[in-house]
Amino acid sequence: MSNDNSTAESAAKTSNFIHQIIEDDLKSADAPKQIVTRFPPEPNGYLHIGHAKSICLNFGTAEKFNGVCNLRFDDTNPEKESQEYIEAIKRDIRWLGFTWHEDVRYTSSYFDQLYNWAVYLIEKGNAYVCDLNAEQARAYRGDFTTPGKNSPYRDRSISENLTLFAKMKAGGFAEGFCSLRAKIDMQSSNMNLRDPMLYRILNVSHHQTGDQWCIYPIYDFAHGQSDAIEGITHSICTLEFEGHRPLYEWFLEHLPVASTPRQYEFSRLELNYTVTSKRKLKQLVDKGIVNGWDDPRMPTISGMRRRGYTATAIRKFCDMVGVTRSNGVVDVGMLESAVREDLEVNAKRAMCVIDPLKVTLSNVAEGASEMLSLAVHPKLDMGERELPFSKYLYIEKQDFSEDTSLGRKKFKRLVIGDYVRLRGAYVIKAEQVIKDDSGQIIEVIASIVPGTVGANPAPEFKPRGVIHWVSACHAVPCELRIYDRLFSDATPDKNKEKPFTELINPDSLQVIPRAWAEPSLLKAEIESGYQFERTGYFVADADSTPEQLVFNQTLPLRESKAK
């Protein structure tokens, strides 16, 4: 009976099929002493939401089974890589709340070993130097309906291949002149096994090794062997690498590696209204369509962080999406919902008037002011914030109407001759309006109902509703950046009629150069999130200065019905 209960408890803890595989492995006779996973990004761009899922899976799996997760940069393509990307990736992983095992690792640290293993394959007759250029190699490779044919250089002797490969390493050939290929099977139905390239000549300085190398290993050759060097037990990657698994295993089988990791694949995260190709994201940056990799409209982790998305919400979203082998597109609204849910609970509260209408309180003395106190959060103990109250206020224009026929259920704001509650302050009554020469309302004359701060008014002063406000004499000017989805098309990278760069939403960024915020926001820390009451969720941006506060809208308070 106890064994049955234990099995049931274990099954209940299993959250995905990879965890079930690991649980089964741990029960086997040759169970690993410790689960070791890895996250192996290529440092050729900033991480995006798809990488967040992989980070949560690899680091989370290690945590679940009391194992460790390595951070290893797959830096085999120095043409597109940089230290900037390396530092950004490390920041993103830390921000998501994960810690990698020991020091950061680099595939480039294994270049000597990988080179020696390439020599080993040549010595065993399993690799050869091929002089076909890229176009010729593609023609010889065939396609899914046409078998490949052997390279004319495939039967070079072992001694000749060793000499040629050493010459490649010494810089004796021009870039692209030749390559090292594995000798597997040009007739294979798996294109990845048709004598894949192992090394190519690349006269590019490397961000870690400098000018030490002029030949660089291909990802497929470097990846599995790097896993083996690090003792990775479960090499978890996305489904597009499923066809590469036989090659991954072929290398491990034909090389004298100390350990034999296993590769497992899961479906990558695809969102609608989003592109996650780093190549395409780089185009957006390079063409100035967005303002850098951390533009709040970008699906990068840095961009979402700058927009005010929280690490907690992103991790919860990745958990909600789950880990399966079924490809599909997830509605970006699910991510936005996870963010709203987190911010509703945890964001500080503040008031900011975007489209101001002046209110003058007739029964408040000129120059008089009163300091009111309001909770930073209605449910959490985050302390109090002070709100100056004066004769002159700003409210939102949309919060006032002179149409006295509006019923209280239809319009719960301020109407001439009626009452409304100012958040955390008095109940006021609108008495008259002042208009400019064009007939536009520019000011409302109102009066306070004394004794109504923190207290219910008498029944005859019952307010229609509650509106936000700021003291016009004390309000702080700020710039608001209102963000929407970057693309107007739900599948921007799959549209066959237009390139994705022509599907940009023209309203993805709207700047409100001057709104009016309560003075407590002068102390807002960068990346500190707020719910601007009745307006939306906002975050203090790094562009803020003491003279000019800048807030990015994270999301509206609720999803638009139009979406």
Catalytic residue annotation: 42, 268, 278
Name the token pair of 126.
């399993």
Q: Could you give the C-alpha distances from 431 to 8, 350, 360, 439, 466, in angstroms and in order?
A: 69, 27, 10, 18, 18
Of 285, 295, 300, 416, which is closest to residue 41 (Cα–Cα)? 300
Phi and psi at 36, nearest 5°, equal -130, 120
Q: Which amino acid is at 446?
A: A
Q: How far apart are CA 205 and CA 213, in angstroms?
A: 8
Q: Which amino acid is at 146?
A: T
Phi and psi at 353, nearest 5°, equal -100, 120
Length of the chain counted residue by residue: 563
**Spatial contact of 351 and 365, defined as CB atoms under 8 Å apart:** no
Phi-psi region of 156 (alpha: psi -120 to 50; beta: other; left: phi over 0): beta
| Coil/strand/helix, residue 246 | helix
The helices-and-strands tally (H runs, E runs) of the chain is: 13, 29
Task: Give the other-Cβ count within 10 Å of 562's Cβ.
Answer: 4
Q: How far apart are CA 516 and CA 145, in angstroms?
A: 66
Phi and psi at 179, nearest 5°, equal -150, 165
Task: Give the other-Cβ count within 10 Å of 363's Cβ.
Answer: 13
Contacts of 21 (CB under 8 A, 6+ apart): 234, 264
Phi and psi at 361, nearest 5°, equal -95, 110
Name the token pair of 239.
């489904």
Place of tokens 């599909």: 328
**Spatial contact of 215 and 119, defined as CB atoms under 8 Å apart:** no
Q: How far apart are CA 260 and CA 264, in angstroms?
A: 13
Phi-psi region of 442 (alpha: psi -120 to 50; beta: other; left: phi over 0): alpha
- Would you report the helix, strand and coil content of the chain in percent, each value rounded to 5? 30, 25, 45
Q: How far apart are CA 292 and CA 106, in angstroms?
A: 26
Q: How far apart are CA 216 and CA 199, in angstroms?
A: 5
Q: Could you give the C-alpha distances from 156 to 98, 142, 153, 181, 209, in angstroms and in order?
A: 49, 22, 6, 12, 31
The helix (run of H) or strand (run of E) holding residue 41 is none
